[in-house]
Every structure is written in structure tokens, then in C-alpha cells.
Structure 1
């Protein structure tokens, strides 16, 4: 038994309310259960009750045992002076106010059905991947779809916090924010933080000025990454290194620490040399990329906008000094789907919020068009009969697992609440 279960019972009146009595044997009439704010202080604010012949307005505090009042030092906290009812599962000691009047107590276990307790225990007790894995497929489709939408926007709200943070760091320059997000995305999980450091260490004004020459951008990105620090015989390497040092002197750029760039365990198409060259090609092709990103409505728009390739040198190289079979290095559709999920959607959402606009339906439509991610979490849900047909659904499932299931927050989850019914 946990307190959040008692909160759920009180909030939704999941107990027999017709003949309630306090532990002191006074009748209780619930007029208003109060507002559940989940803040410091009493659990429910502004409740209204009738106890005996007296009408009360104030707060409700809920504990497993009444003695928890003293365990949590509420007797010393002025925030609890306006508690009008102490709701507990077990009443093991009387609680008094400062004026020595006893706080009325409601013992919930005397009014809760065995069925709801059994449902709760069945939901939270099993040591399984998720508590509801045997029942989740049975959830009403309307409830599940509404919850998916809520989960999707909760995830988007959290992702947008990083965008707002970047916006502060970049002095409200949305183009610079987009550059940072794209750089992080191009680095994927392995080099994402290093690529972000590269983007942050370069003034975006320099990127703007040098975007008319793709080799200048490539030398700038590879040089900042530390990938031009060695000595090699390769002529293209030498050319890029010369340009990089010229740009360092031209703009008085300070060489900053960048976390090591990794090649280990990456597929060759994801090598940092290839991704940084592709990023340079993108900014060479589009000098006003942000305005184009904001106006994107379809997946096809993204594929067309990001139709770029690493420079010709990389068609038969993955690393300097090591020639490979000739192959074009354009951005794949699967990679661009990740760009939509992790860059396009979050920056569109954040920008619309700052501008006071609502584009929720447009974002949902775009995510429905985007291919679902394939990972261990979506595969596991698939085994329970919950298939993600698109990125909207896969993002919702990731949020469900990471923010609810992993924390056993079944009583804050629409699926858990539905099963408890």
C-alpha cells in the first residue's frame, strides 16, 4: 500500500461515501474533495466538508498511518494548521492542533472495497517489464489514443526545454539554435554531445559568412572537432587543414576543448567525418535554413530540403588516407526521420510557443507521416500487441515507459486508472 493509492481513492471518491464517519464517530459529508496540487504542504487544498453539524473549509492531509503526521514533523509546519481532516489507512495515534483540539480522522480501509484493493495489488505488485503488460492490449481504444496524444506532448514539452535553454545561450538567434540542434542530431548518440560542443564553440555568424564555400565549412567543422590535428600525406587533408588555420586567424577563433570524436562501433556511413561533411553541405546549400524548417508540413518537404551529400572526396573515403569503394554519401531517409523527430518537431513546437501560436495538429500530422523508431522499447511493446505504426506512436510509447512505467506511476497513467476501474 502506498500513499499515492490513497490519493487516488480520495481524489476520485473510490470508496463508500454514503455513511462516512470519523474515527470519533461523527458523520462526514464530502462537499468538495479539494485540489490535488502535488506541491509541498497538505495533499488537497480548499476542500469542503460537513463534519457533524459543522461545515468546514480547508485542507486534507493523507497518510498511511496517522502517526506519520509526527514522523513528517507536520506539527511544526504552519502550512498544516488549516487541515480539517486527516485521511489515513490506519489510525494508530490521535493528532492534535496547537490549541489541543483533535484533528478529525477518516480511516479509509473501512470504506474501500476488496475489489479495488485487489485491482491495485494486481497492477503494481508484479515484477514485470511494465505492470500492465498482460492487460494493456485490452484498454479501450479511445482512452489509449487520447493518452498517447498527452504522452506525445509531454515528451515534446520536455524536449523543448533544451531548445529554450539554447535560445538563451544563443542570444535569441533561432538560426544558431537550429544549428546546435542539427549538429547534435548529426552526431547521433555516440558523438551527439561532441558535435553540440563544436556548434556552440563556433560563432554562428562565422558559419553564415563562410557558408558560400563548402570546403571552408568542412574545414571549420572538422578542424574544430580535432580531426585535422594529425599530420597526413593526403592532399585533401592538407588543403582542409590550411583553410582551417586560415579561418582561425581570420576570425580570431579560440581553440576550445571538444570531447573526443569517436569512430568505434559506428557504421561507416555514420562516421563523424561523413556526418560533418554532410552538415557542411547542408549549410552551404541553405543560407536561411531556419525559416525553411519552420514552414515544413510534410515528410517529403524534409527529404527535399535535406537532399545533400558529403563532398566528392568522401565518395571514396570514410577516413583520411584510407580509400574505399566509391559510394555517394547522401542523407538516408531513416536518418532524416530521426532529424524530424529530434530537431524539426521540437524546434517547430518551441518556436510556435514563443510566438503564441498553436500548431499541435500540424505536428501530429507530421509525426503520423514519419516512420516509427525501432528500438528495444518499441519491440517489447510490440510483443504485448501494442504496435507503433509511426513516430507519433513510438514517441508516445517511449514517454510511457521512461516517465511512467519505470517509476511505477500507474496511478498517474490513464492506462493504470482505466484498469483500476
Structure 2
């Protein structure tokens, strides 16, 4: 039977094999005092392992392979990073491995030390055709264990996204306001128009917008002009004014708009059209200078939601969802789901990122509290976990579910997931 090497890592890490009366291939007795720490970087698979081989206690690295000869297949014989390997754990032993000094690296053979039914269970789990591997088993796992795993997933998700924030922060020389503006714009795209909104923010720096915050028409002209929507001939007064302002500002600052073809309108409700989102974005910029600084001092989630749902959007958009396309009535303000999206993906993220950056634990706690107060996201992924019996009561857990689905369930990494480990252990 052929195993993936990751399965043997799992067997070693959780000692799912016979641990009494172990012997190396050299005949020396082996006592596992500590399996060590999994190594996620280059080098041996486990570090800081503690073993007693014969009468001598060793502390060092453990390398795991399907066959002993894989040591040469992977080129470890020429890598000084493997000089501290104290035990070679394999499924089959087919070749003796020597250190540079000529001594033999002790080998533990796992074959016959664990029931092969364990792999059969693992294989059936990762090869299931359900929405996610453990869909039919997860309801039987203690909710305390499930919630513990999901809590770690949420922290992992925020940590990953914080790295993106820090990367952009470095590009703008540590300017948090500018970084926040960039991510806010990106999030205003609501996935479908995320990329053009991000391009817009890159082409229209915050410092330039700030110079015109006392002139709403100029801010709106900059936003719509850089988005590429002011190139046509207009009959309505408002877009004519915008075009005139933009042509002056474009020449003054040497601006190049993004292509209007980047924006997506198909299969969208009019209130989600990018033109309406751009109008709302302009209103937010006009209504909230130094927004990042204000948010870091914010302790009331719902006052922010109220502000986001009462933006001074230009009255033109009450009867238009596109330039020159009149309609009876358009919802100017963002709905609850849209506001919650911004709260989750921007506000809570930046509370976490800035909390880590400035070592302010209270900001991290506030981010987690806000996520617990926000309603859960509803989509095909979260619904599949709900149907399987997982409680998703708030955004804290919906975000955690999105993380575990993307980085573990979808990639069949059950051996790296606490829930999958629990199922296999049972």
C-alpha cells in the first residue's frame, strides 16, 4: 500500500503507532521522549525531537520518508541542514544512510507498527465527494473541539490578511491612512469589481483627494473621471459639470484614467452597479477625512454602521443608476449586507493589523468583539457547513469557516486540521 508522506508525518506527530518495544534497524532500543515540532520551512520534517537510542539520549531533528533511499532522491546527502538528523523514520527500509563522519543514521520502520485501516479511513475522508471531506462526520465531533479549531482558523485568517496590509504599508512608507484608503476602495468592489476599484485607488492617491475635500464636485469628478466614466458626451447637467472639472484636474495632475471596460455590470442589481458604488465611495471620502484614525478610536460598532448607511450621496443618483440612464428610484444607501462586508473585511482587519503593529492588545480584542457582534455571512460555502451541523452564529465563525474551507477542506489537508485529526484518531 502506497502512502503520501504527509500521512506518515501525521502518524509520527500523534504517535498513532505501537510505541512500546521499539527498535531501530541497527537493533538498538528506541524510546520516544518527544516527537518534536513540525517544521513548515526548509529542512528536516521535525525539530527539537528528544529520543533515547540504546543508552544515549539525543535531541535533534527527525526526517520522514516512505523509503530510506528517498534520502538520496531528495538530495539530503549534500545539504548541511540535515546534519543534525538523529532518526530517520520510514515506512520501508531499503538503504543504509551514513552521516558525513561515516556513522549510520538510526532508522525506525513504521511498517507493521500501525493498522493499515487507519489509512483506509484517511483515504475515504479525503476522497469523499461531499461539499467538504468530513461533511458526514463533523456533526459527531464535540462542539467544543470544533469551535476551538474554528477560533484558530479565524486568527489565522486575520494574520494572513494582516501580512497583505503590512506589505502595502511598506510600499507607502508606513502611511496607515493611505493603506486603509487602498483596502477600503478594494473592498468597495465587493469581489465583482474589486480589481477596478483597486486600480482606481492606485491611480488616485489619497493625498490628491485630500486637497479637494472642500469641493465635493471636484472629488466626485476625480473618482468618476479616473474610473473612466467621463469620456462621453452628456446631456445631463451633473455629468457635464463632472467632465469639465475632471478635464481641468486631469491636465493639472497628469492623470491617466483606467479603462471603463474594466467595470462589470452584468447580472447585477442596479443598486450594486459600480456607478452607484463609486457615488457612495465619493460620499464616504467627503464625509470622513482621517477615517483610519477615527476608526482606531471607535468603540461603538453600530455608530459606524449608521454613518455608513447615511452617506451624503449626490441627489443625481436618486433617479439614475448610470449616467444618462434615468429610472424612477434608486436606493442610494448601502444595505446591511454591504455595510457588514466593509466592517468585516476592512474595519476589523485594520483593528487587528494595527493592534499587532502597535502592540495594542485592546485593538485586537475589539476586532474580535466586533466580529462576534456582526451577523454571519451567507453564501454557498457557509450554507454547506450549516447543513452539516456547524453553528455559525456570527461573522467570527463565518470568517473561520471560509478560512478552513479554502486552506484545508478544499485542499484535502485533513491531516493539518484539528477536526480531521480528531475524526481519524477516533
Q: How far 1:308 moved relative to its partner?
A: 0.8
Is residue 37–residue 47 contact of structure 2 (8 Å, CA) maintained in 1? yes
**Paired residue for 1:253?**
254
1:52-89 Cα offsets, whole Å, 9 max, x none, are 23333332111111121121122222222332221111
1:130-182 Cα offsets, whole Å, 9 max, x none, are 22111111111111111111111111111122222222233322222222122
Q: How far 1:328 moved relative to its partner?
A: 4.2
- Give the 3-state SS of the residue equivalent to 1:263 in structure 2: coil
Structure 1 residues 54 and 287: CA distance shift in structure 2, 3 A? closer
Using the size of structure 2 for normalisation, the TM-score is 0.93
**Paired residue for 1:402?**
406
**Of 65, 69, 92, which residue of structure 1 is paired with 2:67?**
65
- Give the 3-state SS of the residue equivalent to 1:188 in structure 2: coil
Q: Which moved more, 1:150-159 or 1:34-43?
A: 34-43
Alpha-carbon separation, structure 1, partners of 2:263 and 2:330 = 23
Q: Which moved more, 1:260-269 or 1:396-405?
A: 260-269
- Give the 3-state SS of the residue equivalent to 1:326 in structure 2: coil
**Paired residue for 1:40?**
42
Q: Is residue 348 of structure 2 the alignment partner of residue 345 of structure 1?
A: yes
Is residue 275–residue 310 contact of structure 1 (8 Å, CA) maintained in 2? no
Q: How far 1:199 moved relative to its partner?
A: 1.4
Q: How far 1:3 moved relative to its partner?
A: 1.7
Using the size of structure 1 for normalisation, the TM-score is 0.94
**Paired residue for 2:379?**
375
Q: Which moved more, 1:310-319 or 1:33-42?
A: 33-42
Question: Which segments of 5 or more consecutive residues in structure 1 lack a partner in the other structure?
Answer: none
**Paired residue for 2:205?**
203
Q: How far 1:410 moved relative to its partner?
A: 1.0
- Give the 3-state SS of the residue equivalent to 2:91 in structure 1: strand
Question: Which segments of 5 or more consecutive residues in structure 2 lack a partner in the other structure?
Answer: none
Q: How far 1:298 moved relative to its partner?
A: 4.1
Q: How far 1:263 moved relative to its partner?
A: 2.0
**Paired residue for 1:15?**
17
Q: How far 1:116 moved relative to its partner?
A: 3.9
Alpha-carbon separation, structure 1, partners of 2:305 and 2:211 = 26
Q: How far 1:335 moved relative to its partner?
A: 0.7
**Of 169, 184, 201, which residue of structure 2 is paired with 1:182?**
184
Alpha-carbon separation, structure 1, partners of 2:237 and 2:127 = 65
Structure 1 residues 109 and 360: CA distance shift in structure 2, 3 A? farther
Structure 1 residues 349 and 253: CA distance shift in structure 2, 3 A? farther
Q: Is residue 412 of structure 2 the alignment partner of residue 411 of structure 1?
A: no
**Paired residue for 1:330?**
333
1:252-277 Cα offsets, whole Å, 9 max, x none, are 23225457222222211011211111
Is residue 356–residue 364 contact of structure 2 (8 Å, CA) maintained in 1? no
Q: Is residue 313 of structure 2 the alignment partner of residue 310 of structure 1?
A: yes
Is residue 316–residue 326 contact of structure 1 (8 Å, CA) maintained in 2? yes
1:355-402 Cα offsets, whole Å, 9 max, x none, are 111133322221122121111111211221224222111111100010
**Paired residue for 2:388?**
384
Structure 1 residues 327 and 58: CA distance shift in structure 2, 3 A? closer
Structure 1 residues 328 and 111: CA distance shift in structure 2, 3 A? closer
Q: Is residue 46 of structure 2 the alignment partner of residue 49 of structure 1?
A: no
Alpha-carbon separation, structure 2, partners of 1:97 and 1:136 = 45
- Give the 3-state SS of the residue equivalent to 1:58 in structure 2: strand
Q: Which moved more, 1:53-62 or 1:183-192?
A: 53-62
Structure 1 residues 262 and 73: CA distance shift in structure 2, 3 A? same
Structure 1 residues 373 and 101: CA distance shift in structure 2, 3 A? same
Alpha-carbon separation, structure 2, partners of 1:348 and 1:210 = 28
Aligned residues: 420
**Paired residue for 1:167?**
169
Q: Please provide the CA RMSD for this pair.
A: 2.0
Q: How far 1:309 moved relative to its partner?
A: 4.3
Alpha-carbon separation, structure 2, partners of 1:418 and 1:317 = 55
Alpha-carbon separation, structure 2, partners of 1:352 and 1:101 = 51
